[in-house]
A and B are shown apart, each in its own frame.
Chain A
Amino acid sequence: MQLSPLANPLATVAQLETSGSQLDGIPADLEDSIRFASARLTQAAGALLRLPQEVIAQAIIVLSRFWVGPEGGSLAEHDADQVSASSLYLATKLSAFPKSARSVVNVYAYLDSLPTTFFEPELLRQHKKAEEYYVSEGTLEKRRMALFNMEQQILRVLGFQLQTSLPYILSITYLQALDVFSHPRASELAKRTVAYLNTALLSPQLLYLTHQPPCLATAAIYLAAKEIGVKLPDVEWWEVFDTDREDLGFVVVGLLSVETFAAEEQKKWLGRRVPLTVGGLEAELGMRRNLSEE
């Protein structure tokens, strides 16, 4: 049985080399920005829908799988926010927390009405006027259809491969195996570990598509322990969790780089929204063209 809780289908080298978007002439930096923003959009929408982090993580993994590789979806063809919405809808369908299409449409309409694509928790707590994100019946019908169409598109691009194993529970098991729960700061350590696993979801290096859950869990523990100051065994303990030094190093560097990347993204798009639709993307590209011609 392939129902291993430890294994995920990973992206192939060919898939990581290029993407549908790049083939369609989307600059790589813009692709990274949009992927990052749509992963964050998914996270915010999932939080608003009160979904457990596991379901949100699965949606983000589905989303990342969709954009990857020459056969993957292209930003020139599909609206990134729609892909995010449909991924989330798909993920909830397979979970114990199904959400109606109406809920999903509502939440995305709400997020779309915000002035930024960097959704800080503070921002989401503000009460806005309902008129600004009200979805009429007609619009709802249109968006529902779009939600379902994109759902099918995702299924086809993924070859219906929706199996997503997550490292969250695994990391707790690993912490137990490392016998660190007697440490006074153990709970801090566990929280930090989970935070790193969430960070990995947003990585432009697509860590969830390149590394198996045990490796991600190990790297998250490694970093968290360093940061919190919990001493782990002197030996190469990660070997026990099927992770070699090289992979550990790669994921650790990848995880650490997300912070810088995120800060740069925020600076780059200050006061603007990352284009999450094909139309917005075209406008952005047009603007860039004009800038370079001047």
Chain B
Amino acid sequence: MRAIHFDHVSKQFPGAPRPAVNDCSLEVEAGSFVVLVGPSGCGKTTLLKMVNRLYEPTGGTISIDGTEIRQLPVTELRRKIGYVIQQVGLFPHMTVAKNIAVVPQLLGWPREKIAARTDELLALIGLPPEEYRRRYPAQLSGGQQQRVGLARALAADPGVMLMDEPFGAIDAITRTGLQDEMARLQRTLKKTILFVTHDVEEALRLGDLIVVMRDGQIVQSGTPLSVLTQPADAFVHDLLGADDMVRQLGLLRVEETMETVPDGVRRSDGPTIGRDNDLRHALSLLLRTAATTLTVMEGETAVGTLTLDQIHRAVLTGKANEVHH
């Protein structure tokens, strides 16, 4: 199961003055990283929790790969969907390995397969299995706990992952590390991820598609660069900080902006930058080194040059493509 389809989904909680989610339709492509962003109370978490039926919609339908989610028994549905929450919710009476093994056990996997999978996941999230598998959650740092939470959600290799502000309670430095790691994991795992955050920086860093919500409705959805450069209204403009040029630069890639040098010969001895980097790093490097030109490298070969002027033009024209694809 991969693609998720929201069809006019609404959720009215009993006694609430207005619906928490109001007539939301959204197409989530298989393998895409979709970030729901918006102020608190905008309905993003409610929308997320209707996918694994922790909340039931009061209107509309949600389908995964064309099958309405209510067709499946709820426990079966949930075992096919990875779920990560801000408070992590690891079971304190179980070791790290036992925590990760929960869903495989529910699915009745044989013991050796579970043990192998647990070790594989611990290695994947950067916690050496020999050292960590027998520890208890209380013996881990906050960042390590959330890594285990992520491994637990990935255990049975679900096609869909729901992540509800997973890094919201983690300190800024660890959070950036986890975001990088999440982006790295997604490049190889290719899950369909629905990710809720109120952190715009995080949304732009991680998402292929940004879905902006307000008052229970979807205000705009699009690629990070498109929502940032063409905000639908003043609300989106302000929420995303669309005037923040440095933020935009973070979404533009060096290789899309540089001037190519065909012969691979370095033109100067000045500072160098990798072609995969973004323009925010490039600008920072230019300012720090007081150089006029950066040499763009691919491994040991010079492939292009980048000047302050080119960066300036890239911002003005908005021609370059996004970093995330």
Q: Do A and B come from one complex?
A: no
Residues of B within 8 A of A (CB): none
Residues of A within 8 A of B (CB): none
